[in-house]
Amino acid sequence: MAEFTLELNDDQKQVRDWLNGFAKDVMRPAAAEWDEREETPWPVIQEAAKVGIYSLDFYAQQFFDPTGLGIPMAMEELFWGDAGIGLSIVGTGLAAVGVLANGTEEQIGTWIPQMYGDVDDVKVAAFCSSEPDAGSDVGAMRTRAVYDEAKDEWVLNGTKTWATNGGIANVHVVVAVVDPEIGSKGHASFIVPPNTPGLSQGQKFKKHGIRASHTAEVVLENVRVPGRCLLGGKEKLDERLARARERAKSGGERVKNAAMATFEASRPAVGAMAVGTARAAYEVALDYAMTRSQFGRPIIDNQGIAFQLADMRTQIDAARLLVWRASWMAVTGKPFNSAEGSMSKLYASETAKKVTAQAIQILGGNGFTREYPVERMHRDAAIYTIFEGTSEIQRLVIARTLSGMPIR
């Protein structure tokens, strides 16, 4: 078992510096353009594929880092480059992880390569879970999957929303209800192959931030997929549903809390994204404060500015420590007895919003213009307190974990 450490090893430092160079040289020069265009930055994704960043192999290597720091380190550097482009690069990973977690070896080998494509023809994938009436409340999901035994096909109907790469993806992974009587335990995940009839893009959202990342509704109208597209297979699903029905009768809360452990383990990655954005804004503000002069001296000489920067750096470092702790706990199997995963996501998200706002204030009128990147960073930071569980949900999870109350 890896000991907790705050020091990256030589291999990790090499990867960090490599990612930082890509973020600095490729992502940052393109960030303002793709934010304005509000389109998927295909050329940047292709560059990421050429150097090996946009690939399952890269993320698998970071995921299996025994210290747990591979993923948060990678997320921080990419989102330090730009949050919108960063999400376009890592968004496919959400669908890939869904297949890795639930799929058979054959499904993993068949579908994940199609999610990424190749260097000459890059593809993206979409993970479709949220719905117009089912965001934080996953039990309210309405998308249904009905099995047609005669044809060995599943028929999907419903509307998904807030889907990263939704509608433009080569492969969609769709979560649907197969047994509404047992709530979230009655859900299953399905692969929707390329060009499947009945799947279409609904509304594409024009967003406040992360505008280089495509976000849209996905509409499913009598979408038929072969039985082999049920992740894990029908036999495994039937066994799981039978166990869930029994547990729902006696000790259903154990099932819910086990599911929460999965969310706790994944939330630090989002926290790392927030740390990257906050760090980027802080560095711009620090450089500006050291070079901008008023009344004959750099503005960092004023305590009002200096103390803000001191607080910003302290909060960023504290957020990173919470993220690293939770990531290490997840990879080493430590129990999240105090909802440490939610803690890391909550604090890092709130820090990103606060630090980017302070950066604008330090830059004054310049910070309010699009001539400087902190305005974009502030818009991007707003998403961290919303997606992958709002700050309010994080606080609820933490409070109920501490009190021993069931997490519903």
Question: What mean pLDDT comes out for the span 83-103?
Answer: 93
Residue 58 clears pLDDT 70, i.e. is over it: yes
Q: Which residue in 30, 34, 35, 70 sits closest to 379, CA to CA?
A: 35
- Residue 185's pLDDT is 82
> Quick check: 221 and 284 in contact, CB under 8 A?
no
123-146 pLDDT, tens digit per residue, is 999 999 989 887 666 667 899 999
- Residue 261's pLDDT is 54
Please tell me what DSSP assigns to residue 227: G
CA atoms of 42 and 118, how far apart (whole Å): 13
- Beta-bridge partner residues of 173: 127, 191
Residue 257 clears pLDDT 50, i.e. is over it: no
Question: What mean pLDDT comes out for the span 92-112?
Answer: 92
pTM recorded for the entire structure: 0.92
Lowest mean pLDDT among 96-100, 154-158, 282-286, 375-379: 96-100
- Residue 135's pLDDT is 64
Residue 85 clears pLDDT 50, i.e. is over it: yes
CA atoms of 350 and 355, how far apart (whole Å): 9
Q: Which residues contact 356 (CB under 8 A, 6 or more apart)?
A: 277, 278, 281, 374, 377, 378, 380, 381
What is the pLDDT of the chain when averaged over all its residues? Answer: 92
- Residue 6's pLDDT is 80
Rounded to the nearest 10°, the torsion over CA 204, 207, 213, 218 is -30
Active site (catalytic) residues? 388
166-176 pLDDT, tens digit per residue, is 999 999 999 99
Q: Say what percent of the chain tops pLDDT 90.
A: 77
- Residue 399's pLDDT is 95
Residue 255 clears pLDDT 50, i.e. is over it: no
- Residue 254's pLDDT is 46
Other C-beta atoms lying within 10 Å of the C-beta of residue 164? 25
375-402 pLDDT, tens digit per residue, is 999 999 999 999 888 999 999 999 999 9
Question: What mean pLDDT comes out for the span 9-25?
Answer: 96
- Residue 256's pLDDT is 45
- Residue 408's pLDDT is 59
- Residue 308's pLDDT is 97
Task: Report the SS3 class of residue 101.
Answer: helix
Burial class (CB in 10 A: 0-12, 13-18, 19+), 295: exposed
CA atoms of 161 and 128, how far apart (whole Å): 7
- Residue 249's pLDDT is 72
Residue 266's pLDDT band, with cuts at 50, 70 and 90, is confident
Residue 100's pLDDT band, with cuts at 50, 70 and 90, is confident
- Residue 407's pLDDT is 63
- Residue 251's pLDDT is 57
202-240 pLDDT, tens digit per residue, is 999 999 999 999 999 999 999 999 999 999 999 999 888
- Residue 332 or residue 283, greater confidence: 283
Residue 252 clears pLDDT 90, i.e. is over it: no
Question: What mean pLDDT comes out for the span 100-110?
Answer: 92
- Residue 244's pLDDT is 81
In 215-274, where do the E strands start and end?
215-226
